[in-house]
Amino acid sequence: MPEGGIFGGVFMRGGPVADDAAWLRAMLAAESALARALEQAGLASPGAGAAVTAAAARAGDFDLAELGQSSALTGNPVPGLARALTRLVPDPAAKAAVHRGATSQDILDTAAMLLARDAIDAAADSLAGAAAAAARLADAHRASLMIGRTLLQQAVPVTFGVVAAGWLAGLDGALDGLASVRQTRLAVQFGGAAGTLASLGSSGPAVKSLMASELGLADPPLPWHTERLRIIDVAVAMARVTAALSKIARDVTLLAQTEIAEVSEGAPAPASAGSGPRRGGSSAMPNKSNPVAAVAILGCARQAGGLLATLVASAEQEHQRAAGAWHAEWQPFSHLLELAVSAAAWARDLLENLTVDTARMAGNLAAAGGLPMAERVTALLRDSLGGPQAHDLVATAAARAASSGVPLRDVLLATPDVADRLTQAGISAAEIEQALNPAGYLGGSDVFTAAALAAHHAR
């Protein structure tokens, strides 16, 4: 079975950053760091830290199925893990350093922070590649005209460059969120039974600091067993990643529709007869070339909101240790990390291989018969006719153009009642022709694109 099971290729494209094996490695890293910290604080025998670390390094010696069974007895896998790790430490004196002073939540929460760090790094790497690709698209297509669309209907012209610049801004914003959380919110958890480290006496705070240093995590002012904003902050950062990517993916699916065909995912490698499935292929329709990367991103993103909501709802935790709310975090937290990493990996693939058909964009804009320029024509008439009358005149002309298939220009200049109004308003045919030129109605598109690119490169 592949990593992540039969759905792993879609939802774990960036790797199994929070599967059972990853959790095991992270929990063992936490236990190892604790043992080293205890030794440095003089609370464990010389060499105990190294002995525990060596035993923990052999993750293959731990039986995940056994840990899963033991968690049914204790409510979480840490007690079984601590017992198994203790058995694997050969030095009797060093065995005493395993899990000393800790409670199960210390190990699991610290492991969650380590997994979050790995997931953030993986997602950030993919996002950086996606952002670089979006920047290239924005720069290359600053003058590529296309129809803008609002409420899924044709609106005014835009450039594909400014569209890609919008994607770029979202990617950079997601990267900034990840960096902030990585730098400020990932902290060790070490509080013992009720958050006081009473079993370690006056040495408890020092051990906490040493453990944080060993793991490269922040040393928080106090344990955060039932203050769950760190978990939520990680989750929000990951949900922001999927949100930014869902915008890009949805645009691609819409622009890649057969009837629009302005972009497409990188041409899949041709499959020779009998060579098996090809990317984008359909099980029923041999003609199909589906936007797999975009669809996979959307599949990841659709799940993120619900997972984030579960984590926020789980923040209500009683006294010094929660009964159930903490437990409710484990799976949605893991899944959200994996989905964000997978979506980011898909996005890099999507943007690095996106095919842009500028001829089709120009053709679709031309086929609109000038209707996307109705706003500009209205602006031309506003001073002479007044806002409401100008709007109504152009709306009438646009409706005639749409119903008859006649270009807006011809309706404006060849329909007697409309042409008479234009003449009375002192509007010439040349002015109408100029108003209908989409290249002259792009507003700040190029300025905005340049600004997004400058901000990206300044990062």
Assess whether pLDDT exceeds 70 at residue 455: yes
CA distance 26 to 120: 15
235 or 381, greater pLDDT: 235
Amino acid at the residue 384: S
CA–CA separation, 353 and 282 (whole Å): 20
pLDDT in tens, 283-304: 555 555 789 999 999 999 999 9
- Helix, coil or strand: residue 319: coil
CA–CA separation, 200 vs 269, rounded Å?
62
Q: Which pLDDT value is given to residue 6?
A: 83
Q: Which positions are catalytic? A: 282, 321
Structural domains in the chain, sorted by start:
103-266+284-359 (1.20.200.10), 371-435 (1.10.40)
CA 408 to each of CA 86, 159, 403, 429, 435: distance values in angstroms, whole numbers, following the listed order: 81, 21, 11, 13, 11
Using alpha carbons only, how large is the chain's radius of gyration in Å?
30
Q: pLDDT digits over 123-176, tens only?
A: 999 999 999 999 999 999 999 999 999 999 999 999 999 999 999 999 999 999
Q: Would you state the pLDDT for residue 268?
A: 47
Calculate mean pLDDT across residues 14-27: 94
Please state the pTM of the whole predicted model.
Answer: 0.92
Q: Are 126 and 347 within 8 A, CB to CB?
A: yes
- Euclidean distance between CA atoms 126 and 143, whole angstroms: 28
Res 386 pLDDT > 90: no
Percent of the chain with pLDDT over 90: 85
